[in-house]
C-alpha cells in the first residue's frame, strides 16, 4: 500500500513546493515594495539628527570625539576654531576630501571617536563615494540593507512554519514601527538586521546540511556582524548554543573549529578594542546616566513589550488603547499556538529562534549590570530581537486557520497604525529638528552677525550643514575645554550688535556663555524647537535704540516658546 501511494504523495509534495515558490516569487517583491514605501515615508520629512551627522563624519574619515590636543588636522580631525568660521568651513567634515584618504582613514576615525566597530562606516564610505553625501544617500544605505534582510527572513520562516505562512514574518517586519523607524535612519541598524537575518539563515543551513558552503557563509556573517555592532554577539551566541545543543548534520568539533576561525578573523580589530575603549571621548559617559523617571522593572517590561505593541516612548507617541489591542492579539495567537503545538514550540529551528529572541533581549540587561549603564532603556540596543519576534509571531499564527490568521494580522496592523502615523508626523528624530533650528538661526544671524552653537561636534556640524554657507559660526563644545569664561564670550561679543545662540545635544555640558549673554544683552527672540533652543540676543544699546524708535515696541524682550 505504501508503495502504491508513494508516487501520489510525492506529486502532492512537489505540487505544494511549486505553489510555495510561485507565491513567494510574486508576493515577496510586493512585501519589499511595501517595506520600502513605509521606510521612505518615515524618513522623508526629517533632517538628520546629530547621530546621523556623526555617521557621515566617520564615513568620510573625520574624527570628531577626540581630545582637542590630540587633533591632527592633516588627517581630517575636527578642530574647534578659536574664532568664527563659516558654515562652509565646518561642512568639510561631512564631505570626502582627497581621494587618497580611503578606508584606512575611516577606520582611524572610528577607532578615535566611536565605541562601535568599523564595518558599517566602511560600507557607508563606499556607498557615499558612489551616491554622494546627501541626506537621502546616507539613509538610502540603511534602507537598502534593511530591505535585503527580508528574503533571509522568509527563508528562515520556511524552515519553521507551513509554506503558506512563510511570508507573514516579512510582512510583520515590514510594518513594525521599530523597523520602519530605524531602517530609515543613517546608522548601522539596517545593516545589523541584514547580517543577523543572514546569519540566522546560515545557522539553519549548517544545522540541516553541514555543507562547506553553509559553514563558510556562517563564518563570514559571524565576522561581519561582530564588526558592525558589538551587540551582535548576543544573537550570535544563540546560534552557537543552538548548534552545540542540536548539531543536526553539523558536528560539534566543526563548530569549535569555526569559532577558532571567527576569532582569527576578528583578531586584527578586537586586539585594539581595549585601547579604543580607553580613549577619552566628548560623549564618553552618556550611557551611565539614568533616563528621567527611570524604573528598572518598567524598563525591563518595556524592553520586551515594545516589539509587540509598537511603542517607543522616547522616540514617538503611541496610543494606549492600540497597545492593549496589540497585546491582546499577540496573547491570543500565542495561546492558540501553545494549545496546538505544545512542547514542539521549542523543538528544531524554533528552539534557535527562541534562543535568538531571549539572548537579544537579555544581552543589554546583562551588559548594563556589568558596566553600570542603561542600554536596555534604548530600543536600538535590543533591535536584533525584532526579526526573531516576527518569526515567532508568524510561526504562532500558523496554528490558526487562514481566516483567523488574516483577522489577527489586520488587528495587529491596525494597533500599530497610531505609532506609524506618529513616526510620520514627527518633524525630527529624537526631538532634534536640527534642520529647522539651523535655518531659523541662519536667517537671524545672516552673513554679518555671529552664530554661537553650544553642542558636541556632531551638533555643530548639523547646524552648519543646514545653515547658509556664509553664516559665521562659533563652535562651543564645553567638554573640549577650549573656551574660558568670561574671557572667550567677551572677546566674541565685543563690538557686535547681535548674537544668535543655539543650544542642542550638549550631552549635559553647562552653557555659562548663555547665562552671561542673558545678563549682558536683551533677548529679541527665544524659540524652542523640539529639544533645541534658539535665542537672538541684542546689545543693550541696539535694544534701546530700536525700542526708542518704535521698532517692534517690546520686541527686544519677546520670548517665543
289-308: average pLDDT = 92
DSSP secondary structure letter of residue 184: T
Contact of 133 with 94, CB cutoff 8 Å: yes
- CA–CA–CA angle 482, 290, 435 (5° rounding): 55
The predicted pLDDT at position 8 comes to 43
Sheet holding 521-529, edge to edge: 85-86, 472-476, 450-454, 498-503, 532-539, 521-529
pLDDT at 422 over 70: yes
Which one has a higher pLDDT value, 244 or 399? 244
pLDDT at 559 over 50: no
> What radius of gyration do the chain's Cα atoms show?
27
388-401: average pLDDT = 89
DSSP secondary structure letter of residue 248: T
Q: Which of 259, 205, 252 is nearest to 237 (CA)?
A: 259
Which residues partner with 312 through β-bridges? Answer: 316
Which one has a higher pLDDT value, 143 or 431? 143
Mean pLDDT, rounded, of the chain: 89
pLDDT at 25 over 80: no
- CA torsion, points 281, 283, 289, 294, in degrees to nearest 10? -150
> What 3 state SS string does 390-413 have?
HHHHHHHHCCCCHHHHHHHHHHHH
- CA–CA–CA angle 287, 290, 294 (5° rounding): 140
The predicted pLDDT at position 131 comes to 95
Number of helical (H) and strand (E) elements in the chain, helices listed first: 23, 6
CA distance 76 to 63: 7
Q: Omega before 486 cis (within 30°)?
A: yes
Which one has a higher pLDDT value, 220 or 553? 220
Contact of 535 with 523, CB cutoff 8 Å: yes
The predicted pLDDT at position 43 comes to 80
Element (H, E) at 536: strand 532-539
The predicted pLDDT at position 549 comes to 59
Contact of 55 with 138, CB cutoff 8 Å: yes
The predicted pLDDT at position 249 comes to 93
Element (H, E) at 437: helix 434-445
275-279: average pLDDT = 90
The predicted pLDDT at position 464 comes to 97
User: Which pTM was predicted?
Assistant: 0.92
The C-alpha cell of 134 is what?
Answer: 546627501
The gap from C-alpha 123 to its chain's centroid, in whole angstroms, comes to 15
Using DSSP's 3-state secondary structure scheme, residue 501 falls into strand
2-19: average pLDDT = 49
81-88: average pLDDT = 94
pLDDT at 5 over 60: no
Q: Which of 383, 500, 386, 484 is nearest to 450 (CA)?
A: 500
Q: Are strands 85-86 and 498-503 parallel, antiparallel or unpaired?
A: unpaired
Which one has a higher pLDDT value, 498 or 313? 498
Spell out the domain ranges in the chain.
2-25+48-80+106-286+295-426, 430-557
- Side-chain-side CA neighbours of residue 196 (13 Å): 33
Q: Report long-range pairs for 493-496 (Cβ below 8 Å, ≥24 apart).
A: 493/450, 493/517, 493/520, 493/521, 496/449, 496/450, 496/539
The predicted pLDDT at position 556 comes to 39
The predicted pLDDT at position 10 comes to 46
Range with the poorest average pLDDT among 148-162, 238-252, 350-364, 445-459: 148-162
The predicted pLDDT at position 162 comes to 64
Which one has a higher pLDDT value, 320 or 361? 361
- Side-chain-side CA neighbours of residue 463 (13 Å): 33
CA distance 339 to 86: 67
The predicted pLDDT at position 398 comes to 81
Which one has a higher pLDDT value, 307 or 5? 307
The predicted pLDDT at position 560 comes to 38
pLDDT at 199 over 60: yes
- pLDDT tens digits for 339-359? 777 667 787 888 999 999 999
Range with the poorest average pLDDT among 194-198, 277-281, 285-289, 555-559: 555-559
Does domain 430-557 fall under CATH 3.40.47? My reply is: yes
- pLDDT tens digits for 145-195? 999 999 999 999 998 876 668 889 999 999 999 999 999 999 999 999 999
Residue 339 neighbours by CB under 8 Å, 6+ apart: 399
Q: Which of 84, 51, 47 is nearest to 65 (CA)?
A: 51
CA distance 298 to 310: 16
Amino acid at each position: 500500500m505504501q508503495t502504491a501511494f508513494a508516487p501520489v504523495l510525492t506529486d502532492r509534495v512537489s505540487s505544494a513546493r511549486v505553489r510555495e515558490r510561485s507565491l513567494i516569487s510574486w508576493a515577496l517583491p510586493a512585501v519589499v515594495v511595501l517595506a520600502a514605501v513605509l521606510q521612505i515615508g518615515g524618513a522623508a520629512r526629517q533632517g538628520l539628527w546629530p547621530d546621523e551627522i556623526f555617521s557621515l563624519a566617520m564615513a568620510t574619515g573625520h574624527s570628531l570625539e577626540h581630545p582637542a590636543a590630540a587633533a591632527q588636522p592633516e588627517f581630517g580631525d575636527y578642530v574647534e576654531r578659536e574664532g568664527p568660521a563659516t558654515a562652509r568651513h565646518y561642512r568639510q567634515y561631512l564631505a570626502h576630501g582627497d581621494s587618497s584618504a580611503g578606508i584606512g582613514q575611516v577606520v582611524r576615525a572610528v577607532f578615535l571617536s566611536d565605541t562601535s566597530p568599523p564595518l558599517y562606516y566602511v560600507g557607508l564610505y563606499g556607498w557615499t563615494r558612489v551616491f554622494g553625501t546627501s541626506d537621502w544617500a546616507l539613509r538610502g544605505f540603511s534602507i537598502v540593507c534593511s530591505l535585503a534582510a527580508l528574503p533571509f527572513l522568509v527563508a528562515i520562516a520556511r524552515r519553521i512554519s507551513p509554506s503558506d505562512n512563510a511570508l507573514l514574518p516579512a510582512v510583520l517586519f515590514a510594518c513594525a514601527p521599530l523597523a520602519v523607524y530605524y531602517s530609515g535612519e543613517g546608522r548601522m541598524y539596517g545593516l545589523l538586521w541584514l547580517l543577523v537575518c543572514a546569519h540566522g539563515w546560515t545557522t539553519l543551513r549548517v544545522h540541516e546540511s553541514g555543507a562547506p558552503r553553509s559553514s563558510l557563509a556562517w563564518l563570514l556573517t559571524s565576522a561581519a556582524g561582530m564588526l558592525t555592532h558589538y551587540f551582535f554577539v548576543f544573537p550570535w551566541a544563540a546560534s552557537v548554543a543552538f548548534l552545540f545543543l542540536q548539531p543536526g548534520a553539523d558536528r560539534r568539533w566543526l563548530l569549535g573549529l569555526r569559532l577558532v576561525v571567527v576569532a582569527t578573523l576578528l583578531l586584527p580589530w578586537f586586539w585594539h578594542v581595549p585601547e579604543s575603549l580607553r580613549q577619552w571621548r566628548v560623549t564618553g559617559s552618556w550611557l551611565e546616566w539614568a533616563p528621567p523617571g527611570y524604573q528598572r522593572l518598567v524598563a525591563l517590561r518595556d524592553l520586551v513589550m515594545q516589539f509587540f505593541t509598537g511603542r517607543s516612548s522616547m522616540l514617538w507617541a503611541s496610543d494606549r488603547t492600540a497597545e492593549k489591542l496589540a497585546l491582546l492579539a499577540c496573547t491570543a495567537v500565542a495561546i492558540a499556538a501553545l494549545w496546538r503545538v505544545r512542547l514542539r514550540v521549542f523543538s528544531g529551528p524554533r528552539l534557535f529562534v527562541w534562543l535568538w529572541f531571549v539572548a537579544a533581549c537579555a544581552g543589554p540587561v546583562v551588559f548594563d549590570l556589568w558596566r553600570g549603564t542603561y542600554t536596555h532603556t534604548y530600543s536600538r540596543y535590543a533591535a536584533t530581537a525584532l526579526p526573531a519576534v516576527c518569526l515567532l509571531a508568524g510561526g504562532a499564527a500558523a496554528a490558526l486557520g487562514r481566516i483567523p490568521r488574516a483577522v489577527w494580522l489586520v488587528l495587529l496592523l491596525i494597533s500599530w497604525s497610531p505609532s506609524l502615523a506618529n513616526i510620520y508626523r514627527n518633524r525630527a528624530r529624537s526631538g532634534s529638528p536640527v534642520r529647522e533650528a539651523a535655518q531659523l538661526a541662519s536667517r537671524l544671524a545672516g552673513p554679518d552677525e555671529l552664530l554661537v552653537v553650544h553642542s558636541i561636534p556632531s551638533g555643530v556640524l548639523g547646524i552648519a550643514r543646514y545653515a547658509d554657507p556664509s553664516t559665521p559660526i562659533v563652535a562651543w563644545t564645553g567638554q573640549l575645554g577650549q573656551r574660558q569664561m568670561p574671557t572667550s564670550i567677551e572677546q566674541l561679543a565685543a563690538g557686535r550688535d547681535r548674537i544668535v545662540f543655539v543650544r542642542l545635544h550638549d550631552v549635559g555640558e553647562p552653557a555659562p556663555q548663555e547665562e552671561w549673554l542673558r545678563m549682558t544683552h536683551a533677548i529679541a527672540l527665544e524659540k524652542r524647537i523640539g529639544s533645541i533652543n534658539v535665542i537672538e540676543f541684542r546689545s543693550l544699546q541696539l535694544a534701546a535704540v530700536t525700542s526708542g524708535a518704535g521698532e517692534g515696541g517690546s520686541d527686544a524682550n519677546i520670548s517665543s516658546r
